Amino acid sequence: MGSHDIGYKIIGDDMQFVEIELDPRETVVAEAGALMMMTSNVLMETIFGDGSSRSGGKMMDKLFGAGKRVLTGESLFMTAFTNSGYEKEKVSLASPYPGKILPMDLSLYGGKLICQKDAFLCAAHGVSVGIDFRRKLSVGFFGGEGFILQKLEGDGLAFIHAGGVVVEKELLPGEMLRIDTGCLVAMTRDVHYDIEFVGGVKNVFFGGEGIFFATVTGPGKVWVQSLPLSRLAGRIFSAARGTSAGGKDEGSVLGMFGNFLDGNR
């Protein structure tokens, strides 16, 4: 059974939302809390599982789908929005923080997309939200945003959210790109992902850029964000403590000691 063929329009610039157009009986599944508004004949239902077509059957399938979401740090539940009327209806789903909403037609990427665990926003009913394990221990312990990445599978539309400006890179076979571990948003199924130590005592203790890179090797596409949520949250937390937003301790093992050396204390 294929995914529902939904229509959409992305509205806004820095704080975007996606307006989904549903034909009668069509459904879109979203993360809990993403709703902005909906028209009168859209039925909202909390569902248990990952929202794929197969999770609507046996209880064990639902438990398995929900368990996958727990491993990625998400809620057990998602929200399904279904057009219960006889005309086209609309539901609008908003991004959680400043950035861009990216529409991903999974049928164009071999039916699978790997993304950071908090990137998923919504998808057509029939798209499965699962997990993608990274086998190497180095990736598990030092992978930045998490050892377990999300895996979106199906043949329909999925929408992911990224912070700040988003850049799409096409990698040739064997071509490698080093990325800050928090800035990697998504990649296609054939891209190889690993973690690399920055190296150098000065880089580790005084560089302020973290001590590990994410390395991605082609062939395939990768999407990179300029403002990961962890960085935004860190700056807000620093400002709340009265520290300088321009401090250079981001990712540094010295933390406040680095600020002291820079004269910020």
Specify if 244 maps to a domain: no
Which range of residues forms the domain containing residue 59? 7-232
* Interval 208-242: pLDDT, tens: 455 678 899 999 999 999 988 766 666 676 777 76
Q: How far apart are CA 211 and CA 208, in angstroms?
A: 8
Q: Do 68 and 50 meet the contact criterion of CB atoms below 8 Å apart?
A: yes
78 in Cβ contact with 51 (< 8 Å): yes
Looking at residue 68, its pLDDT comes to 55
Contacts of 96 by beta carbon, 8 Å cutoff, 6+ apart? 33, 34, 161
Q: Which of 45, 47, 116, 52 is nearest to 84 (CA)?
A: 45
Residue 74 lies in a domain: yes
Q: How confident is the model at residue 262 (pLDDT cuts 50, 70, 90)?
A: very low
Residue 31 domain-assigned? Answer: yes
pLDDT digits (tens, 9 = 90+) for 111-150: 999 998 789 999 999 998 888 865 554 444 444 444 578 8
Gap between the Cα atoms of 70 and 76, Å rounded: 6
Q: What distance in Å separates the CA atoms of residue 147 and residue 72, rounded to the nearest whole number?
A: 9
pLDDT at 97: 84
Residue 260: inside a domain = no
Give the number of domains in the chain: 1
Q: Are 258 and 249 in contact (CB under 8 A)?
A: yes
pLDDT over 80 (residue 34) = yes
pLDDT at 98 over 90: no
Residue 55 covered by a domain: yes
pLDDT of the residue at 199: 55
Q: What is the pTM of this model?
A: 0.76
DSSP classification of residue 147: S
Lowest mean pLDDT among 31-35, 104-108, 174-178, 206-210: 206-210
Nearest to 52 by CA among 78, 14, 71: 78
Specify if 34 maps to a domain. Answer: yes
pLDDT at residue 101 tops 90:
yes
Q: Which CATH number characterizes residue 40's domain?
A: 3.60.160.10
Q: Residue 60 and residue 248: Cα distance in Å, rounded? A: 49
Dist. CA 198–CA 136, nearest whole Å: 17
Residue 261 lies in a domain: no
| Position 106 in a domain | yes
Residue 88 pLDDT greater than 90, yes or no: yes
